[in-house]
Amino acid sequence: MVKASICVGVATSLCAFAVAAEETASRYYLGIGEPDPDAWQIMIENPTDREKDMGRAIETIGGEMISYFWGLADGKNYITVRLPDDPGMVQAMYVSRLSQGVLKDYTFIELMTSADMVDALKRVPDFTTPVE
C-alpha cells in the first residue's frame, strides 16, 4: 500500500511538471536512497525536513525538487527532480551523493514523460536490425 501511494504521488507530481520541463532543456530523475545506520542516527538526533534543504541544493544547480518521500516499509527515500539537460552535471551530482558516505545504496534513474515515450516508440524501427 505504501509503495502504491508513493508511485501514485510520484506519477502525479511528474505529470504536473511535464509542461514546464518541455519548455526548457531538462530531464526528470528518480533518486532512491537507502541511508546507512550513521545517517539514521544523524536524522534521529536532528529531525528536520530534509526536503527543503535538498530542494535548495537542487535549485542552486538550476533544477527543481518535485517530490520527496520516505518509504515506511523499506526505510528508503524517494525523490523526483527536474535537472538541466547536462549529463556531466548529473553524473557529478550522482557521484557526490555516493561520496558523502551516508547511503548504503543509491539509485538514480532517468525518467521520461509519456509524450517522450511516444517519440521513442516511433523511432524503434530506425534501430531494429533483422534477426538472422
**Is residue 3 scored above 60 in pLDDT?**
no
Is 103 within the bounds of a domain?
yes
Is 45 within the bounds of a domain?
yes
The count of domains in the chain is 1
Average pLDDT over residues 12-40: 72
What are 110's strand-pairing partners?
29
The rounded Cα 70 to chain-centroid distance in angstroms is 13
Distances (CA, A) of 17 to 10, 27, 66, 93, 94: 11, 11, 8, 21, 22
Is 27 within the bounds of a domain?
yes
**pLDDT of res. 32:** 95
Residue 39 belongs to domain spanning: 2-127
**pLDDT of res. 23:** 56
Is 118 within the bounds of a domain?
yes
Is 132 within the bounds of a domain?
no
Is 58 within the bounds of a domain?
yes
**Is residue 47 scored above 90 in pLDDT?**
yes
CATH of the domain at 21: 3.30.70
